Amino acid sequence: MSRIGQAIINIPDGVEVKKDNNKFLVKGSKGELTAPISDEVVVNIDKNVIRVEPKEKDFRNKAIWGTTRALINNAVQGVSVGFEKEMEIVGVGYRGTLQGKKLTLNLGLSHPVEIEVPDDIKIKMDGNTKFTVSSADKQKLGEFAAMVRSKRPPEPFKGKGIRYSDEYILRKEGKKK
């Protein structure tokens, strides 16, 4: 049995769910999301509970069962609570500013790095070096945060760069004379 797949999903108040062929539609206060449903699983909606069950119990279907349940759960959690990642910029002279829908980062390069922020992602600046990225869609949030981090990933000697606030950077010792 899939441990993730067999867990039930509770539907919070104010969230509407609907199954439409191979799509699962979720509406809530934070927006509207869809999750794909595989043909190998059956999704049952009872009052305030969603259950995902496999049609057959073979190895491949167990993996798809857990993945489908996780995608539906992420959609339900995203439209009700949302997701967020806290990031920080570390380095002397490194800073970021938000101007409308454009994130401008000064990262010690010869030019500032400008990033367009998608409509479904919100950024909240906490000073010049800390910011929070939030969205209802967990996948888009992770992709955007990784793209921002890739502009100047943390280096192992001084730890300078853009990192997630809960990330631990393994530091290296410098040269000895």
pLDDT in tens, 11-54: 999 899 999 888 999 999 998 999 999 888 888 898 899 999 88
Task: Give the separation between CA 58 and CA 1, rounded to whole angstroms.
Answer: 10
Alpha helices in the chain (DSSP H): 59-80, 138-150
d(CA 69, CA 41): 9
- The label of the residue with tokens 């070096």 reads 129
Residue 41 pairs with which residues in a beta bridge? 54
Report the predicted TM-score, pTM, of the whole model to 2 decimal places: 0.89
pLDDT at residue 1 in the model: 56
Mean of the per-residue pLDDT values for the chain?
91
Q: Which residues of 140-165 are buried (b: 16+ CB within 10 A; e: fewer)?
A: bbeebbeebbeebebeeeeebbbbee
Token readout for 118 is 């998608």
Sketch out the chain's domains with CATH numbers: 9-80 (3.90.930.12), 83-164 (3.90.930.12)
Give the tens place of pLDDT for each residue, 142-162: 999 999 999 999 999 998 999
